[in-house]
Copies of this chain bind each other. A is one copy, B any other.
């Protein structure tokens, strides 16, 4: 049994997914967006890797019962009803509907990990629920990987910090060791930052990018810890509340 942190999707070992519970982490913003959408009553979120696939999927769904959300480089894609800002996934917009979501990093990471034995979505927003998912997987004898979405193949400070928070919360779990270097790095980063987590989050590259594209308000939403007990899990290619 192992507890590993892949600091970007490049670090995920696809050959071992059938023995793995994977928690995908994309704090800014896909993970937080998915938690928010399900908390606000969306029936499901379907993650798709590219725009074309989103369009083909939309054609098969009831228009009134679905919402298209697309983002690249931080900005809403043309022709999509929503972008990737958690605050636009309000109950009025998503309740009872299926959200088709394609984002720069988070949905690509989900698609890469979809062969996992169990796959869930973690953020600061649902930290306790996500930690419980991880603890249960360890209890059940599965290997666990925290999969940081990062930014276009690069590590992202906010995802690494969030992974470190999960490693820290699992520290007393008897099956949470040994961890790998990714887990050691994430855990060390979190321990150094926890006294002033928001400040550290807001110096991240991704924070600057979001501020530049006018999405700075999302940062404080995404930095809030434990505001939801929703655990998004993948079931039959759809992400639903567990």
Contact assessment for B181 and A185 in the assembled complex, using a CB-CB cutoff below 8 Å = no
Quick check: is A192 within 8 A (CB to CB) of the other chain?
yes
Residues in B neighbouring A156, C-beta threshold 8 A: 181
Residues in B neighbouring A160, C-beta threshold 8 A: 181, 185
Segment touching B, from A3-11, A37-45, A53-61, A220-228: A3-11
Provide the bound-state CA to CA distance between A157 and B6, in Å. 13
By CB atoms of chain B within 10 A, which of A7, A155, A160, A203 has the most? A155
Least CB distance from A9 to B in Å reads 9
- Number of A residues contacting the other chain (C-beta, 8 Å)? 26
Contact assessment for B11 and A155 in the assembled complex, using a CB-CB cutoff below 8 Å = yes
Residues in B neighbouring A155, C-beta threshold 8 A: 7, 11, 155, 181-182, 185
Quick check: is A229 within 8 A (CB to CB) of the other chain?
no
By CB atoms of chain B within 10 A, which of A153, A181, A193 has the most? A181
Provide the bound-state CA to CA distance between A156 and B160, in Å. 14
Provide the bound-state CA to CA distance between A204 and B155, in Å. 19
Q: Given contacts A10-B8, A11-B8, is CB(A188)–CB(B192) below 8 Å?
A: yes
Contact assessment for B205 and A181 in the assembled complex, using a CB-CB cutoff below 8 Å = yes
| Contact residue among B7, B154, B185 (Cβ-Cβ distance under 8 Å from A180) | B154
Residues in B neighbouring A181, C-beta threshold 8 A: 151, 154-157, 160, 204-206
Provide the bound-state CA to CA distance between A11 and B152, in Å. 9
A-B contact pairs, 23 of them (CB 8 A): A6-B154, A8-B10, A8-B11, A10-B10, A10-B153, A11-B153, A11-B154, A11-B155, A151-B181, A154-B180, A154-B181, A154-B182, A155-B155, A155-B185, A156-B181, A157-B181, A157-B184, A160-B185, A181-B205, A185-B189, A188-B188, A188-B193, A191-B192
Residue ranges of A at the interface with B (Cβ–Cβ < 8 Å): 6-8, 10-11, 151, 153-157, 160, 180-182, 184-185, 188-189, 191-193, 203-206
Other A-B pairs, 11, CB within 8 Å; known A160-B185, A184-B204: A8-B10, A8-B11, A10-B10, A155-B155, A155-B185, A160-B181, A180-B205, A181-B204, A188-B189, A191-B192, A192-B192
